[in-house]
Structure 1
Amino acid sequence: MSIEDIKLGRRLALSALALGLAAPRIGFAQAGAYPSRAIKLMVGYPPGGGADILARIVANKLSPLMGQPVVVENRSGAGSTIAAASLASAPADGYTLLLAESGILVGTAIYDKVAYDPTTLTPIAALGDLPYSLVVNPSFPAANTRELIDVLKANPGKYSYASPGVGNIAHLSAEMFQKEAGVQIVHVPYKGGTPALADLVSGQIPICFVSLPPALALARGGKLRLLAVTSAKRSPAAPDTPTISETLPGFNSVASIFMLAPPGTPAAIVDRVNAALREVMAMPDVTADFVAQGATVETSSPQQLSALIRQELASWSSIVKSANIRME
């Protein structure tokens, strides 16, 4: 065998080795591409509600940025805890996400047992806040929050208030209000905000804590009196409406809106979705659509959302315990 033959053999061997090493890398890159198919975005409430509308706003803008369809799936029931439990058992591959709100955190305090631990769900990004409104029937003898507090203090336990149900953020906002204002009001839970507002307008109940958009529409028609919003700052949807905190400094009760993934979702997937969501939430039309639903836009890193979830778990649990709220 000549020297040239030996050199040729070496070159062929090295080429074969290079091809053998390169092949797995190509295969890994192809297998690891994300996303390569449709993404399911769960929401824990029925179609047509506020959370569902916000989820569809986000999904419509997220789809082109991800290069794959983002399909909204409604998993309603038990204050969105059913959807959270479904997320907890889903594969950690980035193809099942949840647009959640603070209700899944409250659920761990008011239900005897839930099939998830919020601190193990993978945080992706905060999306915004949803304040609630404090409204009264037009005949009620209070034109603002201070006058309402004075009336309630003079008549402890005489008046009742409506909320969209037991254990939701509107209900907890009212419980927080009672505690910080030093008043007593009887809770009358309804199956949703619509029947609660109907009874308020008809005079069956004098006070209500409820979502802002429907209350704002009725207030403009003179059918109820909008006293305040529950957020620390005035809502862009109702800039002329005071906050409760302008009367009770420090008062802040909102439903945080955020995106979660199953436990153990890889950081690369989380970062990919977080970056896309930041783009979505920076779009002017998305901000306008959120404001139309009474929400404000707020984005965050996964780490910031993790800290927010832990902080809210502690604060909501404290309110639930203080008000002795339980659900079976």
Structure 2
Amino acid sequence: MRRIWRRVDPRMAPERRRPKEEIMRRYLRAISICFVSLLLPGMAWANYPERPIKLIVGFPPGGSIDVVARILAEKLRPVFNQPIVVENRPGASGTIAAQSTASAEADGHTILMTTSALIINPWISPSPFDPMKDLKAVTRVAMSPYVLVVSPKLPIHSFDEYVAYAKQNPGKLTCSTYGVGSPPHLALEMFKRAGELDVVHAPYRSFGLALPDLMSGLLSCSVDTPANVEQHVRAGTIRAVAVTSPGALPMFPGSAPISSRYPDVAVEAWQGIFVRSGTPQAIVDRINSELVKALRDPEIIKRMSDIGFTPVGDSSEAAAQVVRNDFDRYGALIKTLKLKSE
């Protein structure tokens, strides 16, 4: 620096000279601009949320996922100090809601709550977006296994009796789920393949529609959620013989985990929170942190358990890994079975 100033021609016009003080001022100004530019995004994230949050649910009001969404919205509203508006956008097994989130601003003010159907639907029918690229997992809110229930008209009272009956009567058992490619349908297909069983899949639009046929014996069995079948099992109008969870469920005593006989058959549906890809990680972490706290609340745990869900609340990275694993696992099965939407 000294040598440079020694070479400055003293005859140079004063207005063209650059004193040391001026160069230093410009240098400090440039550093300040860079520093502020780095701070501004962080300052914006620190102010999140700046307006009401839209929590989009891809299923109708009153369903289990809608109930959980409203429980969480109620809990998080005072924490974020902003209204959290639950917006139901049912249709195409959650695809409509997911697409609207994927096309929203990547600022954390539009949040999606959906189910495992998110990563199954693209394998069944063409999707307008890629869930693995266009959405980012924040956390899994809850897990729920499925229950295999049978008609009281059948001489089946246990899982072993079910398997024995199916093997002795190939093609005679008809089993309902709530749709082709749905998680319970995939669980049924895994079970059939593992046990080499010939059981006919009979899709119904809902368990409520299948129940009368199940009770009368027109339908042999059904795979559905604990919330849907529990009251009818307790009433004795249907029998629970197996569950798709890795372990037994206390609410269904005597129902064996299918994995106890077929280790590879363990299916638990998840409910998860997602935002658009590109949402700043600081915002994702903030949403995750508050959700995890809420899911540790004893009151929330009880309210969710009462409707058949086990709270999870894992990290964004752990949730993303489960989503990826399920996407690949279900995709391989769907391609093998050549399933297509009806």
Same fold (TM over 0.5): yes
CA distance in 2, matches of 1:264, 1:109: 24
Farther-moved stretch of structure 1 (114-123 vs 234-243): 234-243
CA distance in 2, matches of 1:140, 1:323: 28
Give 3-state SS (helix, strand or coil) of 1:71's partner.
Answer: strand
Q: Does 1:67 align with 2:113?
A: no
Q: Which residue of 2 aligns with 1:37?
A: 51
Following superposition, the deviation at residue 58 of structure 1 comes to 1.5
Following superposition, the deviation at residue 130 of structure 1 comes to 1.3
Q: Which residue of 1 aligns with 2:131?
A: 118
Aligned residue type for 1:114: S
Q: Which residue of 2 aligns with 1:138?
A: 152
Q: Which residue of 1 aligns with 2:279?
A: 265
- Is the CA contact (8 Å cut-off) linking 1:235 and 1:296 kept in structure 2? no
- Is the CA contact (8 Å cut-off) linking 2:146 and 2:245 kept in structure 1? yes
2:328 to 306, 310, 314: 314
Following superposition, the deviation at residue 247 of structure 1 comes to 2.8
Per-residue CA deviations over 1:7-65 (Å, capped at 9, x if unaligned) read xxxxxxxxxx9xx9899999878755111221111111111111111111121112122
Q: Does 1:207 align with 2:201?
A: no
CA distance in 1, matches of 2:254, 2:156: 17
Q: Which residue of 2 aligns with 1:14?
A: none
- Is the CA contact (8 Å cut-off) linking 2:114 and 2:272 kept in structure 1? yes
- Is the CA contact (8 Å cut-off) linking 2:106 and 2:276 kept in structure 1? yes
Following superposition, the deviation at residue 67 of structure 1 comes to 1.6
CA distance in 1, matches of 2:41, 2:312: 36
Following superposition, the deviation at residue 319 of structure 1 comes to 1.8
CA distance in 2, matches of 1:292, 1:38: 29
* Higher Cα Rg, which structure: 2
Q: TM-score, normalized by length of structure 2?
A: 0.85
Give 3-state SS (helix, strand or coil) of 2:146's partner.
Answer: strand
1:227 to 236, 241, 247: 241
CA distance in 2, matches of 1:57, 1:123: 20
Please give the residue correspondences for 1:16-31 in structure 2 after superposition, counting only pairs within 5 Å.
Answer: none
* Residues 1:240 and 1:298: Cα distance change in structure 2 (over 3 Å): farther
Farther-moved stretch of structure 1 (261-270 vs 231-240): 231-240
Aligned residue type for 1:115: P
CA distance in 2, matches of 1:26, 1:78: 42
Gaps of 5+ in 1: 1-16
Please give the residue correspondences for 1:239-258 in structure 2 after superposition, counting only pairs within 5 Å.
Answer: 241-258=255-272
- Is the CA contact (8 Å cut-off) linking 1:126 and 1:259 kept in structure 2? yes
Q: Which residue of 2 aligns with 1:274?
A: 288
* Residues 1:168 and 1:24: Cα distance change in structure 2 (over 3 Å): closer
Give aligned pairs, total: 310
Following superposition, the deviation at residue 203 of structure 1 comes to 2.0
Q: Which residue of 2 aligns with 1:301?
A: 315
Gaps of 5+ in 2: 1-28
RMSD in angstroms over aligned alpha carbons? 2.3
Give 3-state SS (helix, strand or coil) of 2:48's partner.
Answer: coil
Q: Which residue of 1 aligns with 2:143?
A: 129
* Residues 1:319 and 1:25: Cα distance change in structure 2 (over 3 Å): closer
Following superposition, the deviation at residue 245 of structure 1 comes to 1.7
Give 3-state SS (helix, strand or coil) of 2:111's partner.
Answer: strand
Farther-moved stretch of structure 1 (233-242 vs 85-94): 233-242
- Is the CA contact (8 Å cut-off) linking 1:123 and 1:259 kept in structure 2? yes
Give 4+ residue runs of structure 1 displaced > 4 Å after superposition: 20-32
Per-residue CA deviations over 1:171-203 (Å, capped at 9, x if unaligned) read 111111111111011111111121112221122
CA distance in 1, matches of 2:333, 2:36: 58
* Residues 1:166 and 1:26: Cα distance change in structure 2 (over 3 Å): closer
Give 3-state SS (helix, strand or coil) of 2:256's partner.
Answer: coil
Following superposition, the deviation at residue 145 of structure 1 comes to 1.2
Give 3-state SS (helix, strand or coil) of 1:129's partner.
Answer: strand
Following superposition, the deviation at residue 133 of structure 1 comes to 0.8
Give 3-state SS (helix, strand or coil) of 1:141's partner.
Answer: coil
Q: Which residue of 2 aligns with 1:7?
A: none
CA distance in 2, matches of 1:238, 1:160: 22
Please give the residue correspondences for 1:99-114 in structure 2 after superposition, counting only pairs within 5 Å.
Answer: 99-111=113-125, 113-114=126-127
Q: TM-score, normalized by length of structure 1?
A: 0.88
CA distance in 2, matches of 1:63, 1:241: 39
Q: Which residue of 1 aligns with 2:3?
A: none
Aligned residue type for 1:117: D
Q: Does 1:174 align with 2:192?
A: no
CA distance in 2, matches of 1:273, 1:200: 42
